[in-house]
Structure 1
């Protein structure tokens, strides 16, 4: 049984995070290269704005805000699952090379496949998923030992190695690409949010709508997977089957997110840790918080990044890395 005090604390924190997210969205809608008066936000949202106001809000700012919010949620949930399945507090789809695998697949598709504007947006998450899945399978295979099972430290080391190797592959692809296509891949590597139109939201939203409820349904299994293998087997859980299905879920979430935001790391590392520090390690409690924290972190990083330097700003991936890299080093030394 989960203590009622913890449940109450979780609900209060979730409400506070929702207020923080809404406040950040409002600030993000008002600031940018084109000034937008805050007292014009509500009239414009309800269709009473000028053409310029509606264009700025509905065609430029609101789609980007929603994309970063949804992608941050997906990355945070992916990190929460990976940390539970691998029993490793340093697990993150960016650090483990899953994001890089998705990036290589997207780059190859973008450079060599015939692209049709109508289907390109909706194919991207599937292409990213294939690349991320192949990478995750190889990393899992190298990290697994028949006698001792999955080795968490080895998983991180191999994942970091694969991430660097795949980043090298992307640089090789850049060197042989057309100049117009090089810009896209370079922006992806930097974590520059490039999918900033409504179709990208519709491409990402179904993955979250399916996989968030599924993960919450499997929360108790994640609790059991964090225990020793004999205990988990003793309560009737099929370890390998649950690991595989949950790893597939984590890979799908990460791939769908980075397919529209580029290579963003550390959200999946930081959000679960912050959530666990607030409400403890029970997955039923910290996963909903982690989702909201991840969404807000990426939204906040992108809002600051795109306004801190004119005119193009700093990519969200770099802004997150400025916070996440020191945090990763701290956790590495602590663990």
Structure 2
């Protein structure tokens, strides 16, 4: 990897400014770029992850709704091209522009990498699991926040216990996010699920790779995504996946994933029971190994370069 030196770089006419980060964190950045673009004559290309704070604000922290929406508004007016990380995000951006009567820049869809690669290779040297994690477990990766919908998994595990349905232990990898105090309390303090649910925070890449590799299967109940990287990472590891049918998630693995509604405890539990069966799980894994094509960062970079090259045509 190449480390960039900090400091200002002059922007000349005909240059392309590529923004892959979070410009909404700097309230004045877009305005400064817009003003300089009008004077100098360069081009702006920005990456669009999702429109959660603008289109589904109840699933995000309220403090971001206004600055995020303001950023999207300015972005639509001044960008020469946008890169969306899913068809779902592209549709959402086009809908955002339609609602506000904004011109919508051309939008290319790129696929972000899902290979953990060498950064986590050391995790394959050990099969050791963290204390309290059972040998048979289902894995859910993602910050515990309202949008990620861990409350549905809690309800499904409780319902399984009530009905006497055996499930693998649920291992959640993620810290405490926003708007989930009740859910976090239930996941970590309910005596009835003390042995059935384990929450791990501050997991490094090595351990994450190991957990993906050793999990019976993974589950991802999110209500809304721009992509859904844990689904892609699990498929890249050959793991069977039960996931929400919401937004961008079906784009990742097509019919290789076992879907359920993010609002149905019964559907979620049915999917968990299905993948708990070793025969069904083995069949799913065989298809994934045969059909799923993982994406590298070189692949992603090539897509970005192709989109930038189109600006000159």
Rg larger in structure: 2
More strand as a share of residues: 2
**TM-score per shorter chain, which class?**
under 0.3
* TM-score, reference length from structure 2: 0.22
* TM-score, reference length from structure 1: 0.21
